[in-house]
Structure formats: structure tokens, C-alpha cells
Chain A
Amino acid sequence: QKEVEQNSGPLSVPEGAIASLNCTYSDRGSQSFFWYRQYSGKSPELIMSIYSNGDKEDGRFTAQLNKASQYVSLLIRDSQPSDSATYLCAVNGVTGGGNKLTFGTGTQLKVEL
């Protein structure tokens, strides 16, 4: 069973702080890794994609990938109240040719004033 694990939270951080979200995955053959943001009652919104080991930065967001440890993380700098949402880690193993995403349960982030 290919699994993606996340701490469900809630993770509470003060406004302006760095939020650190973590994810581990079980399938060593996984090729592509994504972070989605999901507000309550809404659909997943793609924030970051990462495909190779190391860091990838986009504005206030940095994704980190370590394939040897099967670990993906998302850092959010200068956290804002509007960042309060559930963050979903998704992994694509491209097995079976179908491009299937396997999602974690998500980490709820609360940014407090």
C-alpha cells in the first residue's frame, strides 16, 4: 500500500513566523511531489511542485525534497492569516502509466494574529 503520511495538526504559528510542514512517503519509486492548499469546503490549489532532491523556492514558499529519507517539506515564510488552511502533500509515482496522485490527510495550519 503506497502511503503518504502527514501530521494532521493543527499547527499554530504567529503571524510573521515560519511554518514548517512535513510529509513522508512509502513508495521509493515516487517521482513527483506536490503541495496543495485546501481551504475548508474548497478544492485543492497547487502551491508547489518538486521533482529533484534539494530546495525549490517560490515567493514565500520553499519545498524541500530528500528522496533517500523519503521526506518532503514545505516552509512558509512570513506566515499570514490568509495562509490558514489545510496543506496536502501529494505524491506521483507514475506507476501504471496513469499519473495517479496519492494524497496525505493534510496538515491544518492556523496563523494567529
Chain B
Amino acid sequence: EPEVTQTPSHQVTQMGQEVILRCVPISNHLYFYWYRQILGQKVEFLVSFYNNEISEKSEIFDDQFSVERPDGSNFTLKIRSTKLEDSAMYFCASSEWQGEDEQFFGPGTRLTVL
């Protein structure tokens, strides 16, 4: 069964450093998303992406964040200058189309900022 994959599973970085989290969405899906979950808190929407541009972004997704689809399979989230409060699980998700459709989540990347 097709699934969303993410790398790395765990990323440790120093405050102020840049990190890139990588995702490979399900191959026939057209919509891609990033969510995050701080330990013990709810899953929060960051950004959605379709047709090589951002469809919607949350207040969390400020100028330090960016997303890119550098090739036909990868979807990346870049955090330019990490802060302690960026420590969280970051989940990539994809869906086949907009509207009444289901989002499937990858296993996540645990980001730890020291």
C-alpha cells in the first residue's frame, strides 16, 4: 500500500541553524501538507501546497519557514534559523485532491533544537 515517507526520523540541531525536513508524498497525490505537534499538544497545520505554490499557511508559518518541491517526488520544509520552540514532531501529509478527500500522514520527523 502506498505511503508517505519522511527523512530523517530524528534531527538534532543547534539553535540558529537551518534544517531541511524531507518528505516523499504518495505518488499520485497532488496536495501536500506540513503539520507539527509539540509534545503533549494538538496537531497543528503549518502549510498546504498545490501546483508548486502555497495554497494556505497558518500564523505559525512565518518567514523562517519555506516549502519546496525540488523534483517530481520530494517535498521539503526548511526552517532557516531554528528556535528552541521549533522542537516538535513534523508530519508531512498528502491527499489526492482537494475537497472531500483524505489526508495521509507520514511517520514524522522529530526535531530537537538545543
Contact = CB atoms under 8 A, between A and B. Distances in A.
B102 A49 contact: yes
Contacts of A36: 105
Interface residues of A, number: 25
Interface stretch (A21-29, A56-64, A66-74, A94-102): A94-102
Interface residues of B, number: 27
**Which secondary structure characterizes the binding site on chain B?**
strand
Interface string B97-114: 011111111111000000
B102 A100 contact: no
Contact of A88 (B43, B48, B56): B43
Contact of A98 (B35, B56, B101, B102): B56
Interface string A34-51: 101000001111100101
B56 A102 contact: no
A32 interface: yes
A103 B31 contact: no
A7 to B, nearest CB: 14
A103 B99 CA distance: 17
Interface of B: 31, 33, 35, 41-45, 48, 55-58, 89, 91, 95, 98-108
Interface of A: 31-32, 34, 36, 42-46, 49, 51, 88, 90, 94, 96-106
Closest 6 CB pairs of A and B: A98-B56, A98-B55, A98-B48, A103-B43, A96-B56, A43-B105
